[in-house]
Amino acid sequence: VTQGYGSDQTVTLRSWDAAHDMALLVVGEGNQPVLHASGASAPRAGEQVYAVSGFDASGGTGGSITTGKLSDATATLLEDDARPGVAYAGGPLIDASGSVLGLDSSAYSSPAAATSPAATSVAVPIQEACAQVVVCVGGSFPSN
């Protein structure tokens, strides 16, 4: 795996779920920041969200955060108009407090997403990602 335009890193593929377009890669570097899911109520349409991706729009070595609003939120799908960086979908979709709502995807689809406008982004809700790929302690993603 290449980190930005820097050095390559060896990672371990721990698990994957092709249907949800997700994979869990383990990087052998500790002391990384910990993300948490919101301990509040479930996400709802109209909520402000932020898509985080690895590269900025100009292709630089930084990151990108784009803002938008949720247009739909179910247990298996989050739809929003915050467009993550095209080449680096897979980052977290966060709320205004920085809590993780889901994982952005450029390929995941569902029957509900098939009728969505082209400008809609899709994310797998974090608890669904936990059930499918992450295998979280206690069965759920840690909340604040």
- Encode pLDDT of 63-110 as tens digits: 778 899 998 888 888 888 887 766 556 788 899 888 889 888 766 665
Distance CA 71, CA 14 (A): 32
Task: Determine the 3-state secondary structure of 113 from DSSP.
Answer: helix
Please report the pLDDT score of residue 5 as a whole number: 58
- pTM, rounded to two decimals: 0.74
Rounded to a whole number of angstroms, the CA Rg of the chain reads 15
Of 123 and 59, the structure prediction assigns the larger pLDDT to 123
Torsion of CA 22, 23, 29, 31, to 10 degrees: 40
Nearest to 123 by CA among 87, 88, 92, 86: 92
